[in-house]
Amino acid sequence: MTERPPLPDGFVAVVKQDCPTCQLVEPVLVQLADAAELVAVVTQDDPSFPDLSTASSAPERTFDDDLAISYLWDIETVPTLLRIEDGEEVERIVGWDRQQWQDLTGLPDLGPDLPDWRPGCGSLSVDPMRADELAGRFSASGLRSRRVEFAELEDDFEAMWDRGWSDGLPLVPPTEGRVARMLAGTTRAPDEVVAVVPPDLVECTVEKVAVNAVMAGCLPEHLPVVLSALEAACTREFNMHGLLATTFFSGPILIVNGPIRQRIGMNSGVNALGQGNRANSTIGRALQLVVRNVGGGLPGGVDRATLGSPGKLGFCFAEDEEGSPFTPLSVDRGLEPGVDAVTLFAGHGPTSIIDQKSREPESLVRSFAAVLRTNAHPKLPLKIDAVLVISPEHGRIFREAGWGREQLMARLGELLLLDSDELVQGAGGIAEGIPEAFAGMQLPKFREGGLLVCHAGGGAGLFSAVLGGWVNGEEGSDPVTVPIGT
């Protein structure tokens, strides 16, 4: 915060000419000046107002044209009469109320010709047209990021592209005002370090996350999700460095659980994995912009993806917990029900599962297994995780048959136990596969905990989706679920 401009000890009036009540009290201010009680007058809009030329003392006059005094002394109404002692406010009254003015100043017969009472007007510093700009200007002065001034003839959007800050789409200019408003979305201090961001291993503050969240198009209420996602991404388990550097397709996928989904307007319904919802589209993008701009992770630089995937612009969606036959993903991953949470999964996709014929869980789960078996490659077991996103119409088949998460996972586990003779190198005429030494056994397609299941999507469509993962475990990435902070 900016330091408050000092005011002198005594009575100080804050007024604006464009306020009928301020004009009404003009003679009262002359009376106060005559009594040598009024030490200063602060005027918001017209430096010649009020006219104190007839008064016998000359109070200090300040034209508060940048509203610094009004904003930083929290003036909400004019006229405001402040009593200052040792530089601090000890009392204030607002508007015109003869009794209050007389009580505060100890002077009798103030404004004898005036009505007893008139309400004041709004201070220019709380004018809705200016309040945001002021909040930005004054609270942003504590922000530490380097200021970058675009030249008069530069187009703001082109200038940001030219500086290499963009993922290829337009960015919202991160002005002081916008960043300050973004920071109002979190209780955390701007200078708090959130994570050490790869690949350059840069300590990233809340402020830098906010700057990138503004550019991504986030609203302030999205910021806590971005902060928690960044913390999760930068853990050793998730291994954002390797995920960035890999030649593989994957990027960070964010799956959000808990009441925050509704509070910030996330989409878990129609087109949940697609475009069109601000929170879904911008939260994942903000995380990727932090990795790009703070961490220095650029495609063609440390990001060596052969093909990449469109989800690397940002891939974030919410689980439809309310319509789900299953316990929420975050609960399956160890958090309490009702806790806001974000799960990070190193993946890409979606791959489609069409099944419009099954009406029994046993048939449908076989369809799921048949597609899940092909995750990454039909002959590669254990090394690659996946998220199975079950749609409402498919979910209904499980619910109506009384299948919960446990039964679904148990059956998928049985169906995805693979005959390793079919998986070894050369089997099926395909060189890719596991070493010959593993022949003659049964191998699960997914490692323990390597298949995540959640529920999302629109109410129509007998389709579900597989989000394929990257190499898992110590060698690559483990999914990470964290509670979302404030």
Partner 1 sequence: MTTVLDPTGERQVAERALLDRPSSIEGKVVGLLDITKPRGDVFLDHLEQGLRRRGAADVVRFAKPTYTKPAPVDLRHEISTKCDLVIEALAD
- DSSP E strands, 224-340: 251-257, 315-318
Helices 223-233 and 206-216 cross at an angle (nearest 10°) of 120
| Token pair of 193 as six digits | 């370090």
Least distance from partner 1 to the Cβ atom of residue 232, Å = 17
| CA atoms of 348 and 190, how far apart (whole Å) | 32
| CA atoms of 364 and 291, how far apart (whole Å) | 39
| CA atoms of 120 and 80, how far apart (whole Å) | 8
Q: Name residues whose C-beta falls within 8 Å of residue 406's C-beta, 6 or more positions apart in sequence.
A: none
Judged by beta carbon, residue 163 or residue 263, the one nearer partner 1 is 163
> What is the binding site for partner 1 (CB under 8 A)?
143, 145-152, 156, 159-160, 165, 173-176, 179, 197, 200, 202, 204, 207-208, 211-212, 215, 239, 241-243, 245-247, 289, 293-296, 471, 474-477
Nearest to 288 by CA among 270, 267, 308, 274: 308
Rounded to 5°, the CA angle 431-434-438 comes to 130
Judged by beta carbon, residue 379 or residue 394, the one nearer partner 1 is 379
Nearest to 324 by CA among 408, 265, 448: 408
Judged by beta carbon, residue 236 or residue 263, the one nearer partner 1 is 236
Judged by beta carbon, residue 23 or residue 145, the one nearer partner 1 is 145
Least distance from partner 1 to the Cβ atom of residue 254, Å = 20
Least distance from partner 1 to the Cβ atom of residue 333, Å = 22
Least distance from partner 1 to the Cβ atom of residue 243, Å = 8
Least distance from partner 1 to the Cβ atom of residue 250, Å = 11
Judged by beta carbon, residue 178 or residue 261, the one nearer partner 1 is 178
Least distance from partner 1 to the Cβ atom of residue 433, Å = 12
Local structure of 155: helix, strand or coil: coil
Q: Distance between alpha carbon 444 and the CA centroid of its chain, in Å? A: 38
Judged by beta carbon, residue 147 or residue 357, the one nearer partner 1 is 147
Least distance from partner 1 to the Cβ atom of residue 422, Å = 21
In Å, how far are 242, 260, 338, 451 from 416, measured between CA atoms?
28, 35, 32, 11
Least distance from partner 1 to the Cβ atom of residue 228, Å = 20
| CA atoms of 148 and 388, how far apart (whole Å) | 44
| CA atoms of 53 and 43, how far apart (whole Å) | 15
Nearest to 182 by CA among 143, 146, 149, 150: 143
Judged by beta carbon, residue 186 or residue 212, the one nearer partner 1 is 212
Least distance from partner 1 to the Cβ atom of residue 198, Å = 8
- C-beta of residue 212 within 8 angstroms of C-beta of residue 196: no
**Residue 259: cis peptide before it, omega within 30 degrees of 0:** no
Judged by beta carbon, residue 63 or residue 157, the one nearer partner 1 is 157
Least distance from partner 1 to the Cβ atom of residue 77, Å = 32
| Token pair of 346 as six digits | 């190193």
Judged by beta carbon, residue 381 or residue 392, the one nearer partner 1 is 381
- C-beta of residue 393 within 8 angstroms of C-beta of residue 462: yes
Q: Which residues pair with 203 in a beta bridge?
A: 196
- C-beta of residue 377 within 8 angstroms of C-beta of residue 428: no
Judged by beta carbon, residue 14 or residue 233, the one nearer partner 1 is 233
| CA atoms of 277 and 265, how far apart (whole Å) | 8
